[in-house]
Every structure is written in structure tokens, then in C-alpha cells.
């Protein structure tokens, strides 16, 4: 009886590479669901829901994943299941798993303190603004040239309250604003998949 060898975690993809990999940053578990820091994860969940995607563990990679078709493009969706500060561990393995060699085909959706609550902004590369998830991705990929969809969560009342603020659940008004922003961020990811990042930036950053 022959034994079939398992492909190791992060092994190169043997099928057609994804046209785009969209990663939503957040912390895993129900205890973090709905917090400001999970705004990126909420956007990917919204995008998956539009296309009947089911985000679940499928390989020995610490992430929930699925692939959907967006106007004929193969779009891989992922939610790292490491904690935020170790997001890069999952993202590095995901880029290998989905055949993403050009980081222009990687989109990371994340919360952003430097934007007003609900504002959605696309950028490629640039500074990390102290975001630990982005820092971890940079350290593992040794690059920051990936596209980012930033979801504004506003600033806490004081700098000392930063950690508690991002890990808290917003009140009803901000919760509605952030839910709308997650939908807009999903729109932006669709636009990047179909029209490219430059055209998507022109559309969404002018709002």
C-alpha cells in the first residue's frame, strides 16, 4: 500500500495561482469579534458572504481561507488565526500557498488609527503607523510593497488608551459606521481585483 505524502504547510501551489490574495487582519476568537482591531477581518467576511465563500481551515496554515470568483478572477480570501502581532507568519505561508510572487497581488485590509472612523483609503506600501500586524507582515515578507485597504477607526481619547481602544467594541453609532466601512472596503477589494489598484485608488480615495 502506497502512502501519499502530504504537502508541507506553505508548499508551492501546484494549480493555477490566485489572481489576488485578500487578507483581513484581526484577532481570532469570539472574544475579539466586533472590536475595532478586527475591522479588516470583518471586511473579508463581508466579501466572502457576497460570493458564497466559506472561510475555514483547509491546510496546515494558521488561517481561515476560501477562493471565490470575482468577474472571472480567482480571488483568495484569508483571515489569519495567529494573533495580530504574528500576522506575518500566516501571510507568508498564504502567499506561497496561493502562488503570490508579485506582492502587488496581495491586499491587506486593516484598521487605521490615523483615519476618521469609517473612512476607507487604499495605498500601496508606505509607513506602518505603528500597526503591529503590518509590522509582522513586513518582517516576514521583508517588503511593504503590498496594497493596503485602510479602514479608519479614529483616535482614542488619549494616547495611553490606545491598546484598550482598538480592542474594544464601539458604541452603536460607530458600530454602524464601521459595518458600512467594512462593506466599502469589500467594494474596494473587488475593484482592485477587476480594475487594478491604481484605478481603485482613484475611485475610493477621492470619496
How far is residue 39's CA from residue 28's CA, in Å, rounded to a whole number?
A: 12
Among the listed residues 37, 110, 121, 131, the single catalytic one is 37
Q: Give φ, ψ of 91 to 5 degrees.
A: -65, -40
The answer to whether the Cα torsion of 196, 131, 45, 182 is positive or negative is negative
Across the strands, what pairs with 69? 74
Query: How far does CA 77 lie from the centroid of its chain?
Result: 8
Backbone dihedral angles phi then psi of residue 98, each to the nearest 5 degrees? -100, 10
User: What value does the CA radius of gyration of the chain take, rounded to a whole number of Å?
Assistant: 16
Among candidates 192, 78, 82, 77, which has minimal Cα distance to 133? 82
φ/ψ (deg, to 5) at 73:
-85, 140
**C-alpha to C-alpha distances, 17 to 90, 96, 131, 143, nearest whole angstrom:** 17, 9, 29, 20
121 as an active site residue: the answer is no
Residue positions annotated with a catalytic role: 37
Amino acid at each position: 500500500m502506497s502512502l501519499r505524502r502530504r504537502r508541507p504547510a506553505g508548499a508551492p501551489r501546484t494549480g493555477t495561482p490566485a489572481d489576488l490574495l485578500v487578507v483581513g487582519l484581526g484577532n481570532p476568537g469570539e472574544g475579539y469579534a466586533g472590536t475595532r482591531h478586527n475591522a479588516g477581518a470583518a471586511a473579508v467576511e463581508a466579501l466572502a458572504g457576497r460570493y458564497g465563500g466559506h472561510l475555514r481551515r483547509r491546510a496546515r496554515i494558521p488561517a481561515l481561507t476560501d477562493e471565490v470568483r470575482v468577474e472571472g478572477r480567482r480571488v483568495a480570501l484569508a483571515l489569519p488565526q495567529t494573533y495580530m502581532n504574528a500576522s506575518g507568519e500566516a501571510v507568508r505561508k498564504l502567499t506561497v500557498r496561493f502562488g503570490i510572487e508579485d506582492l502587488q497581488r496581495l491586499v491587506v485590509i486593516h484598521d487605521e488609527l490615523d483615519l476618521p472612523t469609517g473612512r476607507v483609503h487604499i495605498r500601496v506600501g508606505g509607513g506602518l503607523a505603528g500597526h503591529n500586524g503590518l509590522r509582522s507582515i513586513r518582517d516576514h515578507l521583508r517588503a511593504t510593497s503590498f496594497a493596503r485597504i485602510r479602514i479608519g477607526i479614529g483616535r482614542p481619547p488619549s494616547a495611553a488608551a490606545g491598546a484598550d481602544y482598538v480592542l474594544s467594541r464601539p458604541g452603536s453609532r460607530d458600530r454602524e459606521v464601521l459595518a458600512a466601512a467594512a462593506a466599502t472596503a469589500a467594494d474596494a477589494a473587488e475593484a482592485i481585483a477587476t480594475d487594478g489598484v491604481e484605478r481603485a485608488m482613484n475611485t475610493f480615495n477621492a470619496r
